[in-house]
Amino acid sequence: MQQFLALAFGPHAAPLAGPPLGDWRMWIVLTLAVLWTTAMHELGHAWMADRLGDPGPRAAGRLSFNPLRHLDPVGTLVMCVTMAVGVPLGWGKAVEVDSAKLRGGPRFGSAMVAVAGPLANLAHAAVLALPVRWFLEGGGGGAGPWLGYVALFLVASIGIAVSQFAFNLVPVHPMDAAHVVAAALPGRAGDAYVTFMKRFGTLIFLGLAYTGVLNVALVPLILSIFRWLIGI
């Protein structure tokens, strides 16, 4: 996390450095940031599905700010581990959507539901960036040691949110952009794309991640958005 702060903030990182990696309380704060930010992403999907006419997410309790309703245990663990190296990667509990009930048709509706998750990430990050700007300007000086944990939670949440937004731009299953591509392709081409991605998309994504292609392509974008939000 300290490496991510140094890379993202440069000389501005010191006020937000937070506790050292060996501090068990730091890991609690990071876990809370993972749970909260992932919940906001899934809530975005659920909210859009509800707005477009599918009652399923509401009936399943997914229109909730309670992170536990959006928790996938394995995805959360993966994100907590990858957080330590500065590029959070994981997943939440998928929102079950009946595309046949969505206004605008199954393809358009599914694309809108997919887009809502990453956009929720950006909106969430923008809101949390406001108090971080205040921290960077010297606000909260002398407030006590708890301030470091608050700053860490905010910075980690923004980092996760922006990372989730960027990774979901990759048009392979299970990323959200795959649904948008499927909706944009005509007829059978869209169906073939969905079939192919459901079969091979995860393997393709893991291959891109393992070879470092995703880091090369996405880390500059993540840092640029992060710095723009923070205003440095």
Q: Looking at 10-19, 35-44, 61-70, 162-171, which range is the least confident one? A: 10-19
Mean pLDDT, the chain, as a whole number? 82
For the chain, what's the residue count? 232
C-alpha closest to that of 114 among 66, 176, 175, 58: 176
The CB density around residue 138, as the number of other CB atoms within 10 Å, is 8
Better pLDDT: 101 or 9: 101
Mean pLDDT of 208-229: 87
Give CA 84 to chain center in angstroms: 16
C-alpha closest to that of 161 among 49, 83, 101, 64: 83
Residue 146: its pLDDT value, please?
Answer: 67
C-alpha closest to that of 227 among 38, 81, 10, 14: 10
Q: Which amino acid is at 146?
A: W
Residue 149: its pLDDT value, please?
Answer: 76
Q: How do the domains of the chain map onto residue ranges? A: 2-230
Contact 97, 110 (CB under 8 A): yes
Q: Which amino acid is at 143?
A: A
